[in-house]
């Protein structure tokens, strides 16, 4: 599986690409008495700061791996790993909850959609992780858990993931790969999100 670092960098990249309050700031408030669209934040509500938005999406992107905690406490790391927290029903539930919580400062649809993308990034990265890179089956996930069991496996592995132990050659190589790959993605997202003229 990818390390939390990869998932955190993916969440950060999404937070920068999403645009957040800056994308809404150019939209004028509706005329007095007009109905406010459900997806928009009320004109009087302060927008969610970029740093807090990033923290939310990093946390959401890492959330599925919370199922590691019971196993770690019991001395069996993967006891419950890749269970229902890695399924689409859980991802949809988390996205809906984020949309409700941040509906006034982020916009319900925007918050829910970006949270769903963060959860989806975790699922996708895990599904692209396998023991052998290339055209070899990945580990797979139970995408419909807990509604339906059964693992879905992609025929392609792009990430090495980590294995047992700590400072093993495989784990060091996996972390180095994540730093280079996802660090570059995060930097590119930050650059794309920078306002025109800044840093020129």
Tell me the residue range of the domain where 83 lies.
Answer: 4-20+48-193
Is residue 130 a contact partner of residue 138, using CB atoms and an 8 Å limit?
A: yes
Asked if residue 185 is part of any domain, the answer here is yes
pLDDT for 41: 55
Walk along the chain (200 residues) and give the pLDDT tens digit of each residue: 888 999 999 999 999 988 644 444 444 555 555 554 555 555 556 888 999 999 999 999 999 999 988 887 877 777 788 889 999 999 999 999 999 999 999 999 999 999 999 999 999 999 999 888 899 999 999 999 999 988 999 999 999 888 777 788 888 988 999 999 999 999 999 888 876 655 54
pLDDT for 22: 46
Asked if residue 29 is part of any domain, the answer here is no
Asked if residue 28 is part of any domain, the answer here is no
Asked if residue 200 is part of any domain, the answer here is no
Asked if residue 133 is part of any domain, the answer here is yes
pLDDT for 30: 54
Total number of domains in the chain: 1
Asked if residue 38 is part of any domain, the answer here is no
Asked if residue 42 is part of any domain, the answer here is no
pLDDT for 121: 97
Asked if residue 199 is part of any domain, the answer here is no
pLDDT for 37: 52
What does pTM read for this prediction? Answer: 0.81
């Amino acid at each position: 599986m990818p390390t939390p670092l990869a998932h955190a960098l993916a969440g950060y990249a999404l937070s920068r690409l999403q645009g957040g309050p800056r994308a809404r700031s150019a939209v004028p408030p509706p005329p007095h008495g007009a109905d406010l669209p459900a997806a928009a934040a009320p004109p009087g509500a302060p927008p969610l700061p970029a740093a807090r938005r990033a923290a939310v999406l990093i946390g959401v992107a890492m959330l599925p791996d919370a199922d590691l905690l019971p196993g770690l406490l019991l001395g069996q790391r993967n006891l419950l790993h890749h269970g229902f927290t890695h399924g689409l029903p859980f991802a949809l539930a988390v996205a809906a909850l984020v949309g409700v919580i941040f509906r006034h400062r982020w916009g319900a649809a925007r918050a829910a959609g970006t949270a769903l993308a963060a959860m989806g990034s975790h699922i996708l990265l895990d599904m692209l992780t396998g023991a052998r890179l290339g055209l070899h089956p990945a580990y797979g996930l139970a995408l419909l858990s807990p509604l339906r069991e059964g693992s879905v496996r992609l025929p392609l592995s792009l990430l090495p993931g980590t294995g047992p132990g700590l400072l093993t050659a495989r784990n060091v190589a996996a972390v180095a790969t994540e730093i280079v790959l996802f660090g570059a993605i995060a930097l590119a997202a930050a650059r794309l999100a920078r306002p025109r003229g800044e840093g020129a």
